[in-house]
């Protein structure tokens, strides 16, 4: 277990969509393929983070397991012995370390976090202490395993940087307890080496595809039937230029569809551009995109139905056993230096 650790998580929420698949699930699976020999990969479901925003609690347990099934359907190899798949709440050290780190984190730092500012002030009428404290729990997620790389979206880089600050502050006071995650620049370089796409809403391509879309008409959910998905693609907003051209700024709708087609057919974007740019028949192009989405969903849903639950649960419980050992070792070091244990 001396390999450097890459740590990544995906929240268990309702209805993951094509954006989550292309922007999170697939890049993680590809990262495993690329790096499994050289790194240890910790893929976890941050279930304790789930209720920092409103959720249906009756579904959380099942959804956490389903998240892992989705990764397997997307190609994650759970037989790989350098990959650990676990649920955050099954490793109590995450919560314990959070409580300790809370006393080494300043309110001013947490107030500056963009996610808190946006979600807290903009979208939620009442803000929970859980949302405010989210970055400290995230610091515990990272520091317990000495993770070096934490590939995250742009909205989370600030949290990784904060984890680093907290760890540095703690180490300055108590000695070399935590391994620091790499600094922002290296994190960004690493994250960018993992090809993450930004998929846009089909009806409102000026914003990203997101499950918070009320109608669901601009979103391809991973459990949409191929027929429903086909209709959504055929009704996608494009533009009135009358000629297909890739231009994310001026023509976000058509560019988004080209991105989707390239990703799902595993074709370089340049080839897609060559094939379709200049064409004036948007309908034919959309039909090709719709076909690729329908094919993808058919295959993905068949893979998901084939995921072996026994094997999956075995992997999860084994990983949780092993990661409890690792996390508890780090926690004990911390407990000793702060005076809780001898
Ligand atoms: P969320 O549940 O919205 O926080 O998203 C979870 C993960 O999916 C994050 O890593 C996001 O970067 C990724 N993701 C969400 N929406 C999109 C999108 N429209 N395009 C690409 N990636 C996305």
Alpha-carbon span 252 to 247, nearest angstrom: 7
Q: Does ligand 1 come within 6 angstroms of the Cβ of 153?
A: yes
Tell me: do 79 and 187 sit in the same domain. Answer: yes
Handedness of CA 132, 15, 302, 304 (dihedral sign): positive
Whether 109 is covered by a domain: the verdict is yes
Give the start-end residues of each E strand in the chain: 5-9, 40-45, 83-87, 147-149
CB atoms within 10 A of CB 334: 23
Q: Is residue 150 part of a domain?
A: yes
Q: How far is CA 32 from CA 92, 96, 138, in A?
A: 26, 29, 21
In a mutational test of the pocket of ligand 1, which residue from 13, 15, 24 has the highest number of ligand atoms less than 8 Å from its CB?
24
Distance, CA of 90 to CA of 320 (rounded, Å): 7
Counting every residue written for the chain, the total comes to 342
Structure tokens at 280: 């004036």
**Same domain membership, residue 44 and residue 74:** yes
Q: What is this structure's pTM?
A: 0.92
Specify if 176 maps to a domain.
yes
My answer on whether 150 and 249 are in the same domain is: no
Print pLDDT tens along the chain (342 aa).
589 999 999 887 768 999 999 988 998 999 999 888 899 999 999 999 998 888 899 999 999 999 999 999 999 999 999 999 999 999 999 999 999 999 999 999 999 998 888 877 655 567 889 999 999 999 999 999 999 999 887 778 899 999 999 999 999 999 999 999 999 899 888 877 766 688 999 999 999 998 877 788 999 999 999 999 999 999 999 999 999 999 999 999 999 999 999 999 999 999 999 999 999 999 999 999 999 999 999 999 999 999 999 999 999 999 999 999 999 999 999 999 999 999
What is the residue range of 135's domain?
5-192+309-337
- E strands, 132-193, are 147-149
CA of 167 to the centre of ligand 1 (A): 27
CA distance 67 to 148: 24
User: Where is 99: in which H helix or E strand?
Assistant: helix 93-102
Do strands 40-45 and 147-149 pair parallel, antiparallel, or not at all (unpaired)? unpaired
Per-residue pLDDT, 198 = 87
CATH number of domain containing 127: 3.40.50.620
In the reported structure, the alpha carbon of residue 129 is separated from the centroid of ligand 1 by a whole-number distance in angstroms of 24
CATH number of residue 264's parent domain:
1.10.240.10
What's the pLDDT at 11?
86
Handedness of CA 220, 224, 226, 231 (dihedral sign): negative
Do 290 and 326 have their domain in common?
no
User: What does residue 70 show for φ and ψ, rounded to 5 degrees?
Assistant: -65, -40
Please say whether the beta carbons of 160 and 168 come within 8 A: no
Q: Do both 168 and 259 map to the same domain? A: no
113, 164: one domain: yes
Supply the angle between the helices 93-102 and 129-143 in degrees, to the nearest 10.
110
Helix 282-306 and helix 226-234, axial crossing angle in degrees, nearest 10: 150
Give a yes or no: residue 36 inside a domain: yes
Q: Is residue 221 part of a domain?
A: no
Say whether 208 is catalytic. yes
Catalytic option among 208, 217, 245, 273: 208
Identify whether residues 281 and 332 lie together within a single domain: no
Evaluate: CB of 209 within 6 angstroms of ligand 1: yes
Domain identity same for 237 and 333: no
Looking at the fold, whether 281 and 133 belong to one and the same domain comes out as no
173 is catalytic: no
Q: Is residue 327 part of a domain?
A: yes
Name the residue of 8, 12, 17, 20 whose CB sits within 8 Å of the most ligand 1 atoms, as the mutation to test its pocket: 20
d(CA 87, CA 63): 11
Work out the angle at residue 162's Cα, subtended by the Cα atoms of residues 156 and 164, and round it to the nearest 5 degrees: 115
Q: Which residue has the tokens 């409890």?
A: 324
Query: 299 in a domain, yes or no?
Result: yes
Note the pLDDT of residue 53.
81
Is the same domain home to 186 and 230?
Answer: no
Distance CA 336, CA 174 (A): 10
Tokens of 120: 């807290």
Alpha carbons 289 and 284: distance in angstroms, whole number: 9
> Are 299 and 316 found together in one domain?
no
Note whether 259 and 323 are same-domain residues: no
Residue 145 CB partners (closer than 8 Å, separation 6+): 5, 7, 42, 323, 326, 327, 330
Answer whether 208 contacts ligand 1 (Cβ < 6 A): yes
Domain assignment present for 197: no
119 is catalytic: yes
């Amino acid at each position: 277990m001396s390999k450097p650790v890459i740590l990544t998580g995906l929240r268990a929420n309702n209805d993951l969509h094509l954006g989550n698949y292309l922007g999170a699930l697939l890049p993680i699976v590809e990262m495993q393929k690329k790096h499994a020999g050289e790194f240890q990969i910790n893929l976890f479901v941050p279930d304790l983070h789930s209720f920092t925003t409103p959720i249906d609690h009756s579904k959380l347990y099942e959804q956490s397991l389903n998240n892992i099934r989705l990764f397997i359907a997307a190609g994650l190899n759970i037989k790989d012995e350098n990959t650990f798949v676990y649920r955050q709440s099954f490793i109590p050290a995450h919560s314990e370390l959070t409580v300790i780190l809370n006393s080494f984190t300043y309110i001013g730092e947490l107030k500056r976090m963009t996610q808190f500012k946006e979600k807290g002030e903009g979208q939620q009428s009442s803000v929970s202490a859980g949302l405010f404290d989210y970055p400290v729990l995230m610091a515990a997620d990272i520091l317990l395993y000495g993770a070096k790389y934490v590939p995250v979206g742009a909205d989370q880089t600030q949290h990784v940087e904060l984890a680093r600050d907290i760890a540095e502050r703690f180490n300055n006071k108590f000695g070399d307890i935590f391994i620091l995650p790499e600094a922002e620049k290296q994190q960004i370089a690493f994250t960018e080496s993992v090809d993450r796409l930004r998929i846009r809403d089909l009806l409102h391509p000026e914003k990203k595809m997101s499950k918070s879309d009320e109608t669901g008409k601009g979103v391809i959910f991973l459990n949409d039937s191929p027929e429903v998905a086909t209709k959504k693609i055929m009704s996608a907003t494009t533009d009135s230029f009358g000629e297909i051209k890739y231009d994310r700024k001026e023509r976000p709708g058509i560019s988004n569809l080209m991105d989707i087609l390239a990703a799902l057919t595993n074709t370089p974007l340049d080839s897609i551009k060559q094939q379709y740019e200049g064409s004036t028949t948007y309908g034919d192009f959309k039909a090709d995109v719709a076909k690729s989405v329908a094919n993808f969903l058919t295959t993905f849903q068949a893979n998901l139905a084939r995921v072996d639950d026994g094997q999956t649960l075995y992997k999860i419980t084994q990983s949780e056993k092993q990661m409890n050992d690792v996390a508890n070792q780090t926690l004990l070091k911390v407990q000793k230096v702060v005076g809780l244990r001898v």
